[in-house]
Amino acid sequence: MSHPGGRGLPKATSSDASRARWNRRWSEERAQPSPAPSELLVAAVDGLAPGSALDLACGTGRNAVWLAHRGWRVTAVDFSEAALRMARALASDEGVAVEWIEADAAAWTPPARAFDLVCVLYLQLPAVERRSALAHAAAAVRPGGTLLVVGHDLLNLTEGWAGPTQADVLFTPADVVAEIDGLEVVRAERVRRAVAEAPPGRAAIDALVSARRIA
C-alpha cells in the first residue's frame, strides 16, 4: 500500500481495495459459504471426461473441490488470502488435492492452452479488467477444451434478485462472446437461477457462456 508522499513504494490500486474488502468479508465470523457447487457448473460439465481444470476467482473453493472429487486435476486461483484459507480447509475436510494460487485473476497469466476446462464463475469486474481476465482464461483452454463463464447479468440489476448493485461490474452473454477470441461458442444465454430468499416469481438472472477450442 502507498503512503502520502512516499517514494519507491507500490501504489495502492482498485485491486488492492477489492482484495482487502473480500478478505474482511471472508474473515467475518458470520461468513459461512455454502460448500455446494454451482448448479450451472454441475450441468455444464456433465458428460465431460475429467482432465485438467482451472478455476479462476475460485473464492472459498466450493467448485474446485467439487471438480477434484470427480477426478479433475484442479488449479484454483483467487486474490483473497482469507478465501484461500477457507478453500484449503474445505479441500482438507473433503480429502481432495487442489493446487491453490493466490493471485489476481485479472492480471495473472495461466499457461497457454494447458487446461481441458477453464471456469470463470461470478468474477464481477469493470469491463477493462473483465476483458483482461477473459482473454487469459480463453488462452488457457487447450484444443478440445471448454471455457465456462457465468456471472450476474446486467438485467439482474432491474429484473433479478440479489447480486452486485453496480452496473459497471455486470455483463451480458454478448459481452463475453465478444471477449473470447479463438473459441467456438456452444451456448450463450441468460439463465434464471432460483434463490431461496427471493420473493415469489423472482430469481437471479445470470449470463452463461460455454465455448470450446476446436481440436
Q: What is the pLDDT of residues 166-182, one digit of tens each?
A: 999 999 999 999 999 99
Q: Which DSSP state fits 48?
A: P
Q: List all residues 6 or more positions away from 79 whose beta carbon is below 8 Å from its beta carbon.
A: 15, 18, 19, 22, 102, 103, 104, 105
DSSP 31: -
Sequence spans of domains, the chain: 36-212
Label residue 38 by pLDDT band (50, 70, 90): very high
Distance (Å, rounded) from C-alpha 50 to C-alpha 73? Answer: 8
Residue 176 and residue 30: Cα distance in Å, rounded?
A: 33
Q: Distance between CA atoms of 14 and 7, rounded to whole angstroms?
A: 19
- Predicted local confidence at residue 62, as pLDDT: 96
Work out the angle at residue 35's Cα, subtended by the Cα atoms of residues 30 and 40, and round it to the nearest 5 degrees: 120
pLDDT tens digits, 17-28: 565 665 566 566
Q: Where are the beta strands (DSSP E) in 32-87?
A: 52-56, 73-78
**Given the DSSP bridges, would you call strands 204-212 and 184-193 parallel, antiparallel or unpaired?**
antiparallel
pTM: 0.87
Q: Is the pLDDT of residue 69 over 80?
A: yes
Pick among 3.40.50.150, 3.40.50.2300, 3.40.50.720, 1.10.10.10: CATH of 36-212: 3.40.50.150
Task: Spell 123-159 as b/e; 16+ CB within 10 A means b.
Answer: bbbeeebbbbbbbbbbbbbbeebbbbbbbbbbebeee
